[in-house]
Amino acid sequence: MHSLKAFLRFVQLKDHDEGSRILRYSWEHARLLAPKFGVTVEAFCLALLASDDEREPVTRWTFESDRRRARRLHGAQASADALATFAFWKHGCAHFDLVSAIASVITRPQDLLVFVGERGFEVCVPMRILIGLERLRRNDLTAYVDREGLHLRWCGGSLLIESKPDRWATRIYFPLPSRKSVAAA
């Protein structure tokens, strides 16, 4: 916690533009930065909010939209975490409820839904593709993920969406269950 306070003092000493950029980056990467400071994501965000209150009113206004976005991202991440508990492995593929995922984890077109698993397993799917699927309003969509990408199936068709990593995109993580826990059950 001491290192987090030192970081916030550092940000406050910066000029308006640079301090705002640092705070914006911290907001967007809170899930990665919070553990580095030894605090939870919620505690990290609250500390950023408190430091923002001491900055100029213009900065507070610009962070209002970031706060709303942070709440949406937090809700999407909570939904992804909950849906991931129902995912299961079968024949080397992780199956999950795509219709529920589309309804609850979509944020912005430029964001990514990232399926993560053990041993470096990671499949990145752009949200713009999921938004397109949402517009189809199909209730018969099923999906599974493997190392090739996201496989979609519906009555009369199928589609493979290959992983498209983007290191600058905001990510919603979909943690897949361990294959060992499935084998043990």
Examine the pLDDT at 16 and tell me if it is beyond 70. no
For 30-71, write each residue's pLDDT tens digit: 788 888 888 777 777 777 776 655 544 434 445 566 777 788
For 123-173, write each residue's pLDDT tens digit: 998 888 888 887 777 778 888 999 889 998 888 788 888 888 888 888 889
| Contact indicator for 172, 107 with CB cutoff of 8 Å | yes
DSSP 3-state assignment of 134?
helix
Of 22-36, 56-70, 103-117, the poorest mean pLDDT is in 56-70
For residues 66 and 54, give the distance between their C-alpha atoms in angstroms, rounded to a whole number.
16
For residues 95 and 44, give the distance between their C-alpha atoms in angstroms, rounded to a whole number.
33
pLDDT grade, residue 180 (50/70/90)? low
Output the pLDDT for position 24: 76
Pairing of strands 157-162, 149-154: antiparallel
**Can you give the pTM of this predicted structure?**
0.61
Block residue for tokens 């084998």:
183
Domain positions in the chain: 2-79, 86-184
Sheet holding 93-96, edge to edge: 88-90, 93-96, 142-146, 149-154, 157-162
Examine the pLDDT at 121 and tell me if it is beyond 60. yes
